[in-house]
Amino acid sequence: MSSSYINDAIFWIEIEKVNPNPYQPRREFDELKLKDLAESIRMYGVLQPLVVTRKEVYHETGGMTVEYELISGERRLRASKIAGLSQVPVLIRNGEEDPLLKLEMAIIENLQREDLNAVDRARSFDRLAREFKLKQSQIAEKVGKSREYVSNSMRILLLPEEMVMALEQGKISEGHTRPLLMLTDRPDEQMVLFKEIMLKKLTVREAESLSRRVATDKIRNKEKYLDPAIMEMERNFTESLGTRVRIEKSKEGGKVTIDFFNPEDLCVLLEKLNGAVDSGLKMTSGPVDANTGETLPVDDRAPADVEKEDNTDLYSLKNFVV
């Protein structure tokens, strides 16, 4: 590889002559870290040379100027400008104009420095696949990773843009994308899980547990384990309590499962349930008229007396309260 350089010599060139790499895979540059690097460069200089290509530009007037295009070292170049340097040390890669090589080198350098976030890495792999027609196995070989690593990275881009942006901004971790991707075929549930991750600060393990539970619910529904009325009750419970609720029937009744993730969630649930009891359940001494809210007389007749009377109105729904 050293033969591709001009005798591995380091040249000092004017910083304004170095153009950015159009294939730079990184989109986000942490300004605070750049300032820290700039401060280090002021004290110690640029310890690792930038890698560039050299290009001669001929003008119509007959003159010629030399320009350089960055292959790797974008952060060092930006930090050097912040530090106020007029020149930077470079290694000149001779005669390399292949855009694939420029992208490949930029990706590899960033990967080796672990300097790409998950989204930038996924987009880089996607560009190698789309623009340069490389298979995932070929990409994996070039970057020294497994094919599964490349495949899993690229799957991140299957998420809705809102989730991709949250990952890029560090609001969720790469680990959170796994349970979200498990719900790709259920976009509504996927969005609910995403909001729970964001609002409740769920760990990856908690998110995976919820995702598996949704998958289990899907199997239950396919097997018609739940009837539509029970499913509607689950939705109403979930909406009222603000967390996932499951109802499971059995021969002798059933059970209601309410999710919570910390003591604070449990306290909120208790307050909501108490509030529902205080506002919605009214203790009375008898049945209540559904229209007026007034307490109706209690029928204290014996069953035998009731049977003797053909009073069908006794069983009207208006005389009963749920």
Q: CA-CA distance, 213 to 198, in Å (whole number)?
A: 19
Separation CA 72–CA 20 (nearest Å): 9
Tell me, yes or no, if 131 is annotated catalytic: no
Q: What is the 3-state secondary structure (H, E, C) of 29-57?
A: CCHHHHHHHHHHHHHHCCCCCEEEEEEEE
- Note the Cα 206 to chain centre separation in Å: 15
Tell me the backbone φ, ψ of residue 36, rounded to 5 degrees.
-65, -45
From 28, 31, 56, 74, active-site residue: 74
Q: Could you give the count of Cα atoms lying within 13 Å of 25 in the half-sphere of its Cβ?
A: 29
d(CA 217, CA 198): 22
Choose among 84, 80, 97, 100: nearest CA to 25. Answer: 100
Q: How many residues does the chain have?
A: 322
Closest CA to 246 of 280, 265, 221: 221
User: How many Å apart are CA 24 and CA 92, to the nearest integer?
Assistant: 18
Supply the residues annotated as catalytic.
Answer: 74
